[in-house]
Structure 1
Amino acid sequence: MPESLLLPPHFGLLAVDAKDSTRLPSRQQAPLSRALTDVVHQGLRRAGMEEMRREFESNTGDGLAFGFDPKWLSLVISPFAEELNALLQEHNAGTGPRIRLRMSVHCGPVPVEPGLPGDGNAAPRGETHRLLDSEPARKGLAEADEHTTPLVVIVSDYVYRTVVLGGYCALPGARFAEVQARVAGKDFEQTAWMYVPSPSGGLLRRTAAQPPLAKGTKGEAGGTAPVGMPREQTRVQQVEFGIAVMDSALRDVHHHSGTRRAPDGS
């Protein structure tokens, strides 16, 4: 007879992956891996999240993944995503290989067995990587201008409804667009939500073609999120697919003092 088991602890889950890293010469791939890790860790520091402990962190060469206490989920979405976006823009203005990232955020029960095979492995972790590899995330980054958009963020439906619609995140639901996350050749399809800190190219054309929703309509309440601008505004520059800014001056847009406080209020 099957035996009931205690659930393992819940973790927030974050993964990032670099676009086109395998096209780089072999000698540039190790420096890119180090730079990717450095920029993620620096983004956490700039977001005031030094105290957030990272569990079962792993570097895949062109990506990074780790678990964390889910109380930090709201800050991972904002301000961390904006800080990471700004750091990538700064890095890409230099002479080294350009880094453009997809980032996925999820949450679920994951076993922790440090030093043992399978540490941190469970279905939620696999789903985090499926979101990262999904068609909307890949296509979103590919359609955007490489000089303007270094980061796209895809958030699971559970995280979106719990953290964003729950009012714990500085970003409102209107800054996310609903997508169907599918992975070619894999039995995976989930509703997810995309946020692009600095949209450009095809992302702007796609969102400009969609009529905006008025405040208080189904999209704001938790249906398909509005990805256009408020009705009273008509400038294309204000289209919201992630953030209503088109240039690279991002640091002062969402960095309200309240978002930098630790989740426990300290």
Structure 2
Amino acid sequence: MTGSIPDTFTSGLRPEELAVVVFDQVDYSKLPAADHTEASAVTGPLIEQALRRASLTAVLESWRIFRETGDGLVFGCAPAYLPQLLDRFLPALEEVLADHRSRAGRIPVRMRVAVTCGPVSIDGGPVDGNGAARVEAHRLVDASVLKAVMTVANPEATHVGAIVSDRVYQDVVLGRYCKLHPDRFLRVTATVTGKKDFRAAAWIHVPAPSAGLLAFPPAPPTTDTPPEAVALPLPEPDELPVRPVESTIITTDQRVNQGMAVNHGITGGVSLSFGKPDRPVRWR
């Protein structure tokens, strides 16, 4: 064979693997415009306070990316900290936000948190932090099902709702590096309104569930509803149209007779379901 092989593909070094954590304030857009500056200003300090309370100052001193997003924040750190971010930082953040709410004159802050892991580019430039893991984290934090969970919870009792990628769940939670039991996470199919190309398996964890998230036993089933899948009425997130869900329902893989389950409709409708458990339901 004569001639040269065209250099169609070029190889390069694989970017550094990072844990990526994205935060978004719940209902930030509902605040009066005059309160936006104060609400944005407290995001970083509250997260820093929670990291210190969780004895994770090493994350503060070594994070590889850090960006404020107006109503939220994103940071990247070594994947080795993933177990502690789940079992120590998330409950610490819940405590910090509850303390913040209890202080007179403070604007209440609630947060949705997404945790992913993967290659992220770090080159010291102004656009550090690019990669699929970061894109996934920003999509997950906006997932309709996570917004619905935070809507159902009592805003004075539940300040944090977290969603982790399937990879983080498999590697860290099922791998038992994390102290949280796998049943403390609920498998969902994450979709985002207006992002039809995004659909991913993910896992929700709420450190301090309340209100509708604790509703048990469910209402008596109707003749059209099997006893093992009784739907709990759930308000639509404010940005979703309030209409009956007529599309195919995507159900979770978790059996509803083992706790709480979520049905997520393609059109954005979400329902939480509860069934009679094989053992007492316990939120630790």
TM-score tier (shorter):
0.7 to 0.9
Quote the residue 1:227 is aligned against. Answer: 259
CA-CA distance at 1:39 after TM superposition: 1.0
Letter in 2 for 1:231: D
Q: Identify the match of residue 165 of structure 1 among 129, 153, 174.
A: 174
CA-CA distance at 1:179 after TM superposition: 0.6
RMSD between aligned alpha carbons? 2.0
**1:207-233 CA distances to partner (integer Å, 9 max, x unpaired)?**
75496xxxxxxxxxxx63743696343
Q: C-alpha separation between the residues in 2 aligned to 1:82 and 1:192?
A: 19
> Structure 1: 5+ residue runs without aligned partners?
212-222, 234-238, 245-266
Q: Identify the match of residue 197 of structure 1 among 207, 220, 238.
A: 207
Quote the residue 1:113 is aligned against. Answer: 123
Q: C-alpha separation between the residues in 2 aligned to 1:227 and 1:176?
A: 10
28-37 vs 191-200, which deviates more? Answer: 28-37
Taking a change above 3 Å as real, the CA distance of residues 62 and 82 of structure 1, as seen in their structure-2 partners, is same
Quote the residue 1:64 is aligned against. Answer: 73
Q: Identify the match of residue 38 of structure 1 among 34, 37, 45.
A: 45
Letter in 1 for 2:21: L
SS at match of 1:29: helix
Determine if the alignment matches structure 1 residue 78 to structure 2 residue 87. Answer: yes
SS at match of 1:189: strand
SS at match of 2:162: strand
Higher strand share: 2
> Structure 2: 5+ residue runs without aligned partners?
1-7, 219-226, 229-252, 261-275
User: Identity percentage over the alignment?
Assistant: 35
Superposition misfits of 4+ residues, deviation over 6 angstroms: none
Maintained 8 Å contact 1:177/1:227: no
Q: Which has the higher contact order (CA 8 A, sep 6+)?
A: 1
SS at match of 2:57: coil
Maintained 8 Å contact 1:175/1:227: no
Maintained 8 Å contact 2:259/2:277: no
Alignment of 1:93-108 (within 5 A): 93-94=102-103, 95-108=105-118
Maintained 8 Å contact 1:176/1:227: no
Letter in 2 for 1:200: S
Q: C-alpha separation between the residues in 1 aligned to 2:95 and 2:177?
A: 23
Quote the residue 2:9 is aligned against. Answer: 2
Q: Give the length in aligned residue pairs.
A: 225
Q: C-alpha separation between the residues in 1 aligned to 2:183 and 2:146?
A: 18
